[in-house]
Amino acid sequence: MTNSNPAGSRPLTRRDFNALGLSSLGVVLGAGLAACGAYPAETGDAYSPWVFPRAGESLEEGLIHAALLASSPHNTQPWTFAYGPKRVSFFVDDSRSLGAMDSLARERHIGLGCAVENLVVAAAARGFAARVDWLPDSATPSWVADVTLTESASASTSDALYGAISRRHTNRGAYLDARPPAALEQALRDQLEDASVELHFLSGARARDFRAGTIDATAAIVDDAGMLDAGHAWWRQTKREIEEQRDGLTLDASGLGALTRFLGKSTGRPSARTAGEYWLEGTRGDQTTGFAFCMLSTADRSSRAEQLLVGRAYQRLHLWATSQNLAFQPLNQMAERQDREETLGLASDFGDRLAKLSGQSRSGAQMLFRVGVPWDRALKSPRRPLAWVVT
Amino acid sequence: MTRAATHASLQRLATAVSCVAACLLTLPSAAAPPQTREASWAPSMGVELGYSPERLEVRFPEETYQEDRRLWNSRLALGVDGRFAGRLATLGVRSVSEVGYGFVHHTGHGLLQLTQTALLEYAFGGDFALPFGLALQGGLDTSSSARSSLGVGVPLGIRFRGVELWYRPGFVVPLGSEDEPVFGGERQLSARPGLNWLDFGLRLRLGFLAF
């Protein structure tokens, strides 16, 4: 058996190999220690509500289950529900506030509107027509909607929309960056049922203005400690936090790559400033790619009823987009800054930009988002289960 | 079968595989009478880093969109490194067969890579050598086989004794694509066909385990 070295070089010796082995072991141990805080995505009870529909739930429980899978600002899930036979009441939970990030509680009410839409879609899929009474008692402002269900042969919804309820996730990753297909704008408009909500579809030069405005607004938020801290309070870093709270923003739902998420989990909770800088970097990059930007506006953006209607419209659009394998991501930074300017009595910068983008004399912009074809599928966000949200 | 016989069989098998690979680089002399081959086989291990190029294509009836991206991947590789004396004292022939496993950093997908490399090696300065040659490569995405690819690379490197640094630009051909309908069109995600200019690594030949 030959052991020659034709090229005349000395082979790696056992001693060399041992040294290399020890070095490698050190690297592996170091990586293992760093990985102590890491955990796999989408595992644990915090994600079990995404199993929908679930056997054994009553009609009303099944519909509330659909509702709690809706979009909400920063995944705050600012809702509670009460139900009786063929009736579900929606309440806004003011303790689940975004503080200075949503200083007029506008986004909170949009989130409630999203939950109502999920319930209405699920009810129709089960053969029930849902009558929605908005803000049924002016003496109880937290009671935002009352839904009455009646069996109806004519109640129907697209199976695709119902099927999309458990597949709909905000996708914060990169989208194909291209001009929109010609039919997209009209297809989105066709989903809107309420004339008081207007869709502004921004492509070309207006999309560039929107993108620049969103980046500027993000930078302004990162420089505003009040807003930054209020948003960061909803950051869930560890597996334990996610399981205990089952809400908020997580690394897995951030649209970042697998290795970045792994390292992020391993290195501990970032400061609000650090997280904000990552957010700004993402907004300058992947998070402003796509076919187009859209805005939903109404005549009076301070109207609770109109905020709720905008939420319904957004959720309907997102369900439809999910059924088409298109992705959505809310980009509300300009609207958040607009509210902040109003609250603090600052000169209107982002309010003016939004008014210009929507062609309105006074901005009624409520919900801003991007649409496109994603490179990667979105990961799920944690959800509070039915038992936690029913009073 | 005795241990010695097993080793002999393994050596013959490895020599045969290597000769086929080496012939790709030495075709003019292939018809000549077989040379005396003083061969040396040893296990090798390595760390590798490279790009996984991907293409997203969306086809609508009226228009087609296409976008590319390059994702980093890293692998650990185990292999068999065979060396043969060439006709010239300074020119050797090598065959390296490797199995690499790692992951694509962005997607977290597992990556199983099989590589067969045939190298000519120019020795200089005593312990140094400059290997160059041709490599065939299959890359299996273990989370989504539709993103797998085949590749042909042109490895270049520098070797000092049993330690080798290599760089391998190559050409990638996708083996499939992830397809799904999207808004009246079709979305396809696959390995990007074309040049992949970034793939490099460090390989150690475990000479003390030579057979």
Q: What is the pLDDT of residues A196-209, one digit of tens each?
A: 999 999 999 999 99
Inform me whether the pLDDT recorded for A54 exceeds 90: yes
Q: What is the structure's pLDDT at A341?
A: 96
Q: Which residue has the higher pLDDT, B38 or A1?
A: B38
What pLDDT, in 10s, does the model give residues B89-133? 788 999 999 999 999 999 999 999 999 999 999 999 889 999 999
Q: Say if residue A8's pLDDT is above 50.
A: no
Q: What is the SS3 assignment for B1?
A: coil
- Minimum-distance CB partner of A2 among B39, B65, B207: B39
What integer is the mean pLDDT of B137-152?
A: 96
pLDDT score, position A251: 96
What pLDDT was estimated at residue A159? 86
Rounded Cα gap, residues A379 and A127, in angstroms: 31
State residue A155's pLDDT score.
Answer: 63
The pLDDT of residue B10? 46
Q: How far is it, in rounded angstroms, from Cα A8 to Cα B86?
A: 12
Taking contacts as CB-CB distances below 8 angstroms, the residues of chain B near A257 are: 71, 105-108
Q: Which residues contact A338 (CB under 8 A, 6 or more apart)?
A: A348, A350, A351, A354, A363, A365
- Burial class of residue A36 in the structure, from the number of CB atoms within 10 Å of its CB (0-12 exposed, 13-18 middle, 19+ buried): exposed
Mean pLDDT score across all residues of chain A: 92
pLDDT at res. A37: 81
Q: Which residues on chain B are in Cβ contact (under 8 Å) with A6?
A: 38-40, 83-86, 92
pLDDT in the model for residue B15: 52
CB contact under 8 A, B108 and A16: no
Tell me what pLDDT residue A362 has: 83
Q: How far apart are CA A219 and CA A216, in angstroms?
A: 5
Whether residue B78 is predicted with pLDDT greater than 70 in this model: the reply is: yes
Point out the residue among A12, A178, A258 whose CB comes nearest to the CB of B205: A12
End-to-end CA distance of chain B: 17
In chain A, % of residues over pLDDT 70: 90
Residues on chain A touching B86 (C-beta within 8 angstroms): 6
C-alpha A13/C-alpha B192 separation (Å) is: 41
Give percent above pLDDT 70 in chain B: 82
Q: Which residues of B32-64 are buried (b: 16+ CB within 10 A; e: fewer)?
A: eeeeebebbbbbbbbbbebbbbbbbbbebeeee
Cα distances from A352 to residues A2, A27, A150, A303, B108, in angstroms, run 82, 54, 45, 19, 43
Q: Does A209 touch chain B (CB under 8 A)?
A: no
Rg (alpha carbons) of chain A, rounded to whole number: 24
Segment 165-184 of chain A within 8 Å of chain B by CB: 174, 176-178, 181-184
Distance from CA of A289 to the nearest CA of B (A): 12
Confidence of residue A110 (pLDDT cuts 50, 70, 90): very high
Interval A26-41: pLDDT, tens: 666 556 655 568 999 9
By the CB < 8 Å criterion, does A361 face chain B? no
A324 touches chain B (CB under 8 A): yes
CB contact under 8 A, B83 and A20: no
For B107, nearest residue in chain A (alpha carbons): A258
- Can you tell me the distance from the alpha carbon of B149 to that of A242, in angstroms, rounded to the nearest whole number? 38
Residue B155 has pLDDT above 70, yes or no: yes
Q: Which of residues 330-349 of A touch B (CB under 8 A)?
A: none
Alpha-carbon gap: B170 to the closest alpha carbon of chain A (Å): 24
Chain B partners of A7 at a C-beta cutoff of 8 Å? 83, 92, 121, 123, 129
Does the beta carbon of A85 lie under 8 angstroms from any beta carbon of chain B?
no
A130-169 pLDDT tens trace: 999 999 999 999 999 999 999 987 766 678 999 999 999 9
pLDDT in tens, B2-41: 444 444 554 554 455 444 444 433 333 333 334 445 789 9
Q: How far apart are CA B143 and CA A377, in angstroms?
A: 13
Q: A68 φ, ψ to 5°?
A: -75, -5
**Of the partner residues A4, A7, A257, the one whose CB lies closest to the CB of residue B105:** A257
B47 has a pLDDT exceeding 80: yes
ipTM summary value: 0.87
pLDDT of residue B9: 52
Residue A253 has pLDDT above 50, yes or no: yes
What pLDDT sits at residue A117?
Answer: 98
pLDDT of residue B14: 47
Give the range with max mean pLDDT: A263-272, A310-319, B36-45: A310-319
Q: Which residue has the higher pLDDT, B159 or A11?
A: B159
Alpha carbon distance B175, B173 (integer Å): 7
Which residues of B fall within a CB distance of 8 Å from A187? 183
Chain B residues touching residue A373 (CB < 8 angstroms): 56, 58, 65, 182-183, 187
